[in-house]
Structure 1
Amino acid sequence: MSTPVGRVEGWDLLRGLCALMVAGYHLLYWLGLAQLPTFGTYGVYLFFVLSGASLAYSYDPAKLLRAGAMARFLATRWLRLAPLYVLLCAVFIGMLWAVQGTLVDRLPQRLLLNVTFAFGANDPAIWALLVGGWSLGIEAVLYLAFPVLAWLAAAPRWRRIAFAVLVALQAWWIQRTLGAHGWDAGNVAYHQVPAFAAYFFAGCMAGAQRRARGADWPWWVGAATWAALVALLLALIPVNPGDELLGVRGFVLAAACMATVWVSGRIVVPLRLRKLAAVAGDITYGTYLLHPILLFGLFWFVVPVEGLSTLQRWCVLAAVGAASVALAWASERWFERPVRRWGRARLAARPLPRQSEAASMSS
């Protein structure tokens, strides 16, 4: 079902950068220090492109059509997302109980939807229990379409047509929801699969190309591309939330995200940086999920943000950021990875070949 390929260090480094961008955006905003909506928005959207790229690089779509292969693929993806997510959902529910003395409304239904990630098919921004969880639900829906999307991405005759259709769908969906109603009224309707399928498919095309051609570009090309992306995200920060998705600004930033993943997959990372790349890839998912839990826990149980000076808020940001990264690394090494290996070994009568960690997200 999967090809025994190695990690793509350029994508791992970019994953780590995205995790820091999203965590930085949230922490700066919640601490009242700065608003960088382009970093939060497109940091997450880069995850969709990276997810499609990693999967298309690691899996042969034709093999997914074999009997039982698709079920095994979905179970493998669930094992990648669920262990830490479900654990943190339980922690978050406990935190709310301790603070408010009541449980989350419609808890049994929410738990079922979150454990299965089925909420991605219907208003994920409402049903997800964790901050950022909406993106994982949408990913789960895209996994169902992955064999078809990966096949189209590898077919020269069809990939341009499919990409054009998905980009048109995305543009129409953005205009229908945010362009017509604004962020406050339209953001729940916006956060649905049509708004992100083009990103995922762009990643599938990048993954198919990386699988066919390998990496042959110098390291400095990737570094320059990441620096240019950060500069672009800073230069195009909008006045109103949601405007980073509209008009020329939205087109430029979406194209930049797709191009950045494509370039990152082609660079040759030097040996001295490959350990850093592995760590960056490993901490991505945990950092994405853990930083809100740590900050909320600090505010709810230790000290409220209103009582902090500006200097203290910067210290909190640094401490929560560092703790998120450290706990994410520990979780990947001693919790998530062992659970994945244990689960994969039981998906078939014989142990599965060890799948490339390049198929990891992290969303």
Structure 2
Amino acid sequence: MNGGTTIRTGLLVLLLAGALLAAPDARPAAAADGRPTVSLSAPQGGKGGDITVSGAGWRPGALLMMLICGRSAPGRGVIGGTNSCANAEGRAVTTDARGAFSKKMPVAEPPKPCPCVVHVATVTGEQAAVDAPFTVAGHPSAPLPRPTAGGKLAVLATAELRGSSGLLVRFGAPPSRELVLTVGNLGSAPVENPVFQVGTAHGVFAPQWEERQWRGTIQPGRKAQIRLPVQLSAGAHGDYQVSVKYGSKVLAEQPWGVGRPWGVTLFWLLLAVVVPAALFRIGMAVVDHVRPQRGGRHRNAPTAARTPSSAATATITTTALPWFTPDSAPSENRPTTKGHT
């Protein structure tokens, strides 16, 4: 009896060991080949809640940005770039020495309908991005645009940034250009109304992608000139990198040096001089108006003395008549001399 129990126990241990060896690895599959991975604490959540985003296989010490984006799906990317994401509720995280991270982030409704993903991408250094599917409860959904089958676009000529900055750009207006490139359809099917993504990167930061749709059809073996508008934020200056992407392939990159808006600096300098001067003059006028006048009563005396009556009185009282001096003043006891009779 004991021997049978021992045999059954041994068989059970062997079966459990075989099941564990045959079971798939609990870690994300992409981590086995060295690619970065992202996992979520829950597959869905509602606005006002939060989820925990974890990752592994990233570059040690890398700065990552986590966003909830709509109109997205793993393998398709974020259609429309960061304009499809809830940027205000995004969170930044830095990987540890092993390239792993774990952080909570709030659940927010993106500006575009679902399907949605939690988009994790590097901010600096080598570009890497992973999308984890996520459902925002109560958020509207819409089907993704169908990918073009059989069409394949390639750049046939060097891309160019055309246009010039106007006077308002010197005073902080958004700089704008037009990215012009010639593409050809190397596939076997026509490409109708292709959607490109234009990204602008400043310095070492990752590009911010925006969706640009070109209206038209490119037949197989034909080429077309594509013009895509590019615009930076107000007051932008420095070295930028403009990229254009079709699908998951970057077609062209072009540097763009934007000058400093010196008009804004001049405006603030003038404002710093004019405003204090105006305030000083206003303050002096107020002080001169409210301060008491010195010797106010004595100032009115000469004015009163200039009147005719006052002038006559002053002359009579201050001027001694020649015949009324103390030595020649008439006396009652002294006879008056009238001359020879």
TM-score of Structure 1 vs Structure 2, range by shorter chain: under 0.3
Flag the structure with higher strand content: 2
Flag the structure with higher helix content: 1
Q: Which has the larger radius of gyration?
A: 2
